[in-house]
Amino acid sequence: MSMRSKPCPPAPRSSLATRLPRTLRWTALLATLMACEIPAGPTPAGGAAGSAPGTAPGTSAPGSAAASDPSVPAGFRGFYNVTSITTDATSVIIRTTDVPDHKSPFFGKTSPKYEAYNGDNPSFNTAINLMGMVSDPTLKAQDITLRIPKNPKVAATHTATGLGAIGVAVNGVVLYNQYNGRRALLDSLEFNNMDQYGGHPTPAPALQYHYHVEPVHLTKTLGADALMAYLLDGFPVYGPEENGVRLRSADLDAYHGHEHPTPEYPNGIYHYHFTDDAPWLNGDAYYGTPGTATR
């Protein structure tokens, strides 16, 4: 089942600081997140829903073999914490459990990967309150397959991103766009529910962990200028810094990127950047023609 959905409207280009209301309503938070929910797919053959057959959730083998596989394009060889990376004539095919390699308050408290929130947002809360009923979701292992063009090209007609997965980070965590489930630009209802690494899960039943914004764990471990992800159109996503300068959305085009050589692409390639201001990852649409994400 494809996770692509009705396109979202173009992103307003405004600072996050102007989008944060002073009060929160957790009922609205659940309504917002539930609308972001992706449809449940069938149970994977040979395993329970959300688990990859023969692979423990969040492990890097056999995906780590990509580092030495000449059939995998060079930019994808840095992927880890995935179930597998394979190729065919036109696509790089990434299968992932979507379980982050870092700790999070969205793991159950009995999990060795649980970590209480230690970020700088005093309004953070994992709890969701709907009409007096409080739930505190934990993330769940998935079985997601992303087919990404091996040789991306600028699209003649640009496709708007939909809700659900629009790409995948090098640690196997999927990326979502800059909108909440109401198809409005992210606001405090979402940001106050993001952990110290910039992610959170969708509500039950999917409980799919994802990043809308800079994946702080990757910034810290790989560097703020590193290759951090690919969108479904096959173009890479780099960190928020370039040549020692922290970029803003105003430095980038309508799709939140630009083109020039990078370490992985010395001949030059179009690429996106994470930024601290809206739209954070991707602008009005994909620059290229997107592949698919299914579960």
Give the pLDDT confidence of 147-198 residue by residue, as tens digits: 999 999 999 999 999 999 999 999 999 999 999 877 889 988 889 999 999 9
Q: Which of 56-60, 178-182, 230-234, 236-240 has the least mean pLDDT?
A: 56-60
Residue range 210-217: average pLDDT?
A: 98
Q: Two tokens at 85? A: 């990376």
Give the pLDDT confidence of 235-278 residue by residue, as tens digits: 999 999 999 999 999 999 999 999 999 999 999 999 999 999 99
Domain boundaries, given as residue ranges, for the chain: 1-295
- Beta strand spans in the chain (E): 84-87, 91-96, 128-130, 133-135, 144-149, 167-169, 174-175, 199-201, 209-211, 227-231, 236-238, 241-242, 245-246, 257-260, 269-273, 292-294
DSSP state of 30: H
Q: What is the pTM of this model?
A: 0.80
